[in-house]
Amino acid sequence: MTTGLIPGGQTPDPRPSSTRPPHQRGDLTGQGALHVDDRPRSSVITARAAASFEPVGRSVATARSFVRDTLQGWGFADIIDDAVVLTSELVTNAVVHAGTHADVLCLRSADGVRIEVSDRYPEREIPLQGSLATMGSPDREGGRGLQLCAAIAGRWGVEYTPTHKQVWFQLDLPDRPVGTRTAGPSLPADLLPLADSRVRVAVVQIDRTGAISAWNEDAEELFGYSADQVTGKPLTDLAAWPHTPGTSTGIVEALQLSRWEGSYGIRGANGRVTPVYASHLRVRDTDGEPSTVCLLVRDHERAVLQTPSRGPASDPATTSDGQNADPFEVFIGSPAPDDLDGLLQRTVERARDMLDGDSAFLLLATDDETELEVRASTGLPSARQRFARVPVEAGPGRYGSARMPAVHEDLLAVPGAVPLLNGTGMRSVVTVPLKVEGRLTGSLGVAAEASGRYSNEEALRLQFAADRIALAVESARLGELERLRRGSLSFLVEASDLLAGTLDRDQTLALMAQMTVPTLATWCAVYTIADQASDPYLSYVLHEDEEFIDGIKSLLSKIAPPDPVPTPGARVWAAPAAAAHDAALRSSMRSLGLTGGPTHQMASGIGPTLATASAVGGETVVLPLVARNRVIGMLTLGKPTDEHFRQEILELAEDLSRRAALALDNARLYSERTAISQALQRSLLPPELPEIDGVEVEVIYRAAGEGNEVGGDFYDVFPISDGAYGFAIGDVCGTGPNAAAVTGLARHALRLLAREGLSGPAVLERLNSAILDEGARSRFLTLLYGEMRPQEDGSAELKVVCAGHPLPLRLRQNGTVEAAAEPQPLLGVMEDLELYEQTVTLDPGDVLLCVTDGVTERREGTRMLGDDGLADVLTTCTGLTAGAVAARIMRAVERFASDAPSDDMAILAMRVA
């Protein structure tokens, strides 16, 4: 769907006038005749909103929402229902029956609203013959939309263009007294809502990017931030939006609506969340830029801003014509809130007002009916009570069960009878159950600060109201639960994909934390356990506000970690909240000088300590991370002060912890295997190259494959005795671990045999026998082996055996390149080898280059570097050091092809200085 809104100005007709005969445009108000509506539309259009909808069934509902939101934003609530009904029928005709896109255009003028619905099927014309009864017969699929237009709209018509067919209707605004939008009943002073001595209304303006552009003095007083501290920051940094998986509307979406009212929280400068009631209005500034003005008051003062609900103005149980009203509407009002939280909040407020109480609360039962969860309250510290749980059966007898109505005249006489009210100052209370088909679904209670306020009569009145709303509450709860389940499934699928995409331990820890904060918790900490004999270690801490991370990490490091219990499920961990409370108390006492020390030294640290205590002082739960029947860590989730977790979030966190535990253990195993592999591979590489008087030696080695340090190619330079040095470069068939095993055998055997005083051919013949003894694990091997003896005249004498390996190349000072050995049979194939060695003398300035076939067989398509290409590159290396020669050869090899090398490569360059 695409939409556009252009307030103000004069808008011309958005489409060309029809070229068809005028009898195809008109009112179907006659008996089978079509009359032309030749009255001009209003010449001044004050606002315009347009949207396009795809030809799918769900577009009808989306179109209804679009028209409803548009007219609501324009303040035309009186005609919304009629406009939505007509739009629904006309869009259905377009997207369902005509099967094309539907374009909806809303035009606002001084005397009404004109809505145009166009489809892209002009060939499917409106029937011209017959009566309205024939067109809009209930037995037919199409036509009813036109009949409704004729019955409801003040004016309507049909227009054709070569590409569109348009049906339009205009709804006139009812006459209303100027300045009157809605009014509430006249109430006695004692029934008016209670507010502070001074009601503060925070006025916050949000620009099109979601950043705060204006912040008045009342906002500073309510939330503790100065205008300079918040200007330019996103409102999302301060808003504690009641957002959980499965819900669609968030703070960003709410700021984009033309009008919005509701409750959320603002996190103040002290770290506490202040519940507020907000009214949003989207406007444009003089430059045409959209922005949103937010009016905010404390939540218990919501009557200052909340739009009164439509309801009966006289007798609450009887309409003006004497008919009985719907009991649900009598109690809740009309229309009922669409969301569960709104329905529950309105329920407790009406229950409190109905019994003239000081507070009210509503709890919903869990699926097994063993516990009740606090979901709404008024007149109580709601943040502390929300999502707290109490047992259904609190004690023996009738008054200990939430399944029966109960009246307590004085809670001081029965301490703890209603745990929810402990420490609130409430004395008398009446509670009634909510039941659907005999099953307990919740509990509704009203309390007062005075004793003896309630009797069985009030219990009956409250029970009657509870019976009226129980089914609606249960229906809304099931709808919310279904949304949560769908959102949870999507959340877990995304989490599984992210966790499966990495085998890095640190990244896995970071992903675990980032997926839980802020979706599931305000902060989290991950403890890991290296082995069964190790203590849990604090590995990662994350808070939705980065400023709190260091404080939480410091606090958790000073307390003992939670016990690694393998029992599944979340368990409450009280230690962080207790430690935060103690730390805040000590800081406060030191700041007041109660400990006898200087106060100025500690005053600077009290702010972060109190903020950390507020962030960690709520409910904290621990979930074990169990993988392969072993506890490998704990996932700790926390809420700010006085907040609780709801059960659905804990169940989702438990599912996440199982997936995260397996991903973390896989990362651990991968890290261990990688460390072992790297240690073994490093053992196959020779130690540092020896320093040879008068000879420069340089080696470049590249193993193919990710994570491999050693492959099938190998090299070695080592001292033998009496100023002689052995050198070797070889290539085992294949790559990877199997080839590396033969590499280790060859390198260590060469050193051992050479130091026994054997000649080059004898060394290689014994190595050949050792390779063949490996049986099925043996692999053939190409090897260049030689012994070097520096001479007194500055030259170096080499004795070389080239067993199936690419020939070594000798670069003379004059730039000529020639082979320095002859090819002989490779190793690991035949048992009886007859090898011989060749003697080569390197003069000062000469270079001997030895490479493996990964260098010479470097390919780009059908081209291959080859021996000739290597010789050409070596010709350009005259006068270079051994290191420069090796580096130039490697650059030439890498530039020869764009793909990554698929074979191991080794380059050994020796230059006589």
Task: State how far the Cα of 652 lies from the Cα of 461, in Å rounded to an integer.
Answer: 39
- The average pLDDT across 778-788 equals 89
More confident residue, 683 or 445: 445
Strand arrangement, sheet containing 155-160: 2-5, 47-53, 102-109, 112-119, 165-172, 155-160
CB atoms within 10 A of CB 114: 20
**Whole-Å CA distances, 579 to 381, 544, 585:** 23, 21, 10
How sure is the predictor about 725, in pLDDT bands with cuts at 50, 70 and 90?
very high
pLDDT band at 401 (very low <50, low <70, confident <90, very high): confident
Low-confidence winner among 54-63, 517-526, 726-735, 791-800 (lowest mean pLDDT): 54-63
Read off the pLDDT of residues 339-386 as tens digits, 9 standing for 90 and up: 677 788 888 888 888 888 888 899 998 877 788 888 888 887 654 566
The DSSP code sequence of 121-145 is: -TTSPPP-SS-HHHHT-TTSSSSHH
Look at residue 700 and tell me whether its pLDDT is greater than 80: yes
Plot region of 277 (φ>0 → left; ψ -120 to 50 → alpha; else → beta)? beta
> Mean of the pLDDT values across residues 32-47?
52
Question: pLDDT value at position 727?
Answer: 95
Average pLDDT of the chain, as a whole number = 79
Residue 444 has pLDDT above 90, yes or no: yes
What is the band of 5 on the pLDDT scale with cuts at 50, 70, 90?
Answer: very low
Nearest to 889 by CA among 913, 911, 905: 905
- Of 175 and 787, more confident: 787
The CA-atom distances, in angstroms, between 727 and each of 138, 258, 719, 876 are: 98, 81, 9, 25
DSSP sequence for 568-620: SS-EE--HHHHHHHHHHHHHHHHHTTTTSS-SHHHHHHHHHHHHHHHHHSS-E
Per the omega criterion (within 30 degrees of 0), is the bond before 823 cis? no
* Overall residue count recorded for the chain in this entry: 913
Residue 870 has pLDDT above 90, yes or no: yes
Q: H or E segment at 88?
A: helix 80-92
State how far the Cα of 803 lies from the Cα of 872, in Å rounded to an integer. 24
pLDDT score at 822:
93
Q: Which residues pair with 635 in a beta bridge?
A: 526, 623
pLDDT of 227 > 60? The answer is: yes
Percentage of the chain modeled with pLDDT above 70: 80
Both tokens assigned to 407: 């009246």
Predicted confidence band of residue 787 (pLDDT cuts 50, 70, 90): very high
Closest CA relative to residue 100, chosen from 133, 78, 131, 123: 123
Alpha-carbon gap, residue 231 to 226, rounded angstroms: 9
- Check whether 908 has a pLDDT greater than 90: yes
458-481 pLDDT, tens digit each: 888 899 888 888 888 888 888 878
Q: Over 70: is that where the pLDDT of 905 sits? A: yes
The stretch 11-27 carries a mean pLDDT of 38
pLDDT band per the 50, 70, 90 thresholds, residue 29 = very low
The first and second tokens of residue 893, run together, are 């090899």
- pLDDT score at 17: 39
Residue 222 has a pLDDT of: 92
Among 83-92, 137-146, 761-770, which range has the highest average pLDDT? 761-770
Q: Residue 467's closest CA among 433, 497, 518, 493?
A: 433
Given a contact cutoff of 8 angstroms between Cβ atoms, the answer to whether 782 and 803 are in contact is yes
Most confident of 166-170, 312-316, 906-910: 906-910
Cβ neighbours of 221 (radius 10 Å): 11
863 has a pLDDT exceeding 60: yes
Cα R_g (the chain), whole angstroms: 41
Confidence check: pLDDT of 610 > 90: no
* Whether pLDDT at 242 is above 80: no
**pTM confidence score:** 0.50
Q: Where are the beta strands (DSSP E) in 197-310?
A: 202-206, 212-215, 239-240, 259-267, 273-284, 290-298
Give the three-class secondary structure for 201.
Answer: coil
The region of weakest confidence among 306-320, 416-430, 502-516, 773-787 is: 306-320
Alpha-carbon separation of residue 894 from 863, 872, 880, 902 (angstroms): 14, 15, 20, 12
Residue type for position 28:
L
Q: For residue 396, count CB atoms less than 10 angstroms from its CB and return exposed for 0-12, middle for 13-18, buried for 19 or more.
A: exposed
Residue 886 pLDDT level (bands cut at 50, 70, 90): very high
Q: Quick one: average pLDDT of 502-515? A: 88
Q: State pLDDT tens for residues 636-674.
A: 998 886 667 878 888 888 999 999 999 998 888 888 887
pLDDT at 421 over 80: yes
Q: Give the E-state strand segments of 54-164 in sequence order.
A: 102-109, 112-119, 155-160
pLDDT digits (tens, 9 = 90+) for 185-194: 566 776 666 6
Residue found under tokens 């030191």: 590
Q: Cα(757)–Cα(759) distance, rounded to whole angstroms?
A: 7
Interatomic CA distance for residues 87 and 591, integer angstroms: 66
Residue 232, sorted as left (phi over 0), alpha (psi -120 to 50) or beta, turns out to be left
Q: In this structure, are residues 164 and 116 in contact, taking their beta carbons and an 8 Å threshold?
A: no
Token pair in block for residue 542? 């994350």
Looking at residue 588, what is its pLDDT? 67
pLDDT at 524: 92
| Location of structure tokens 């979601």 | 210
In sequence order, which residues have a C-beta less than 8 Å from that of residue 444 and are 6 or more positions away? 347, 348, 351, 360, 361, 362, 431, 432, 433, 434, 462, 465, 466
597 pLDDT more than 50:
no
Find the range with the poorest average confidence among 156-165, 307-316, 360-369, 890-899.
307-316
> pLDDT grade, residue 784 (50/70/90)?
very high
Name the range with the highest mean pLDDT among 183-197, 560-574, 701-715.
560-574
Q: Which residue has the tokens 């389940």?
A: 485
Q: Is 896 helix (H, G, I), strand (E, B) or coil?
A: helix
HSE toward the beta carbon, residue 451, CA cutoff 13 A: 6
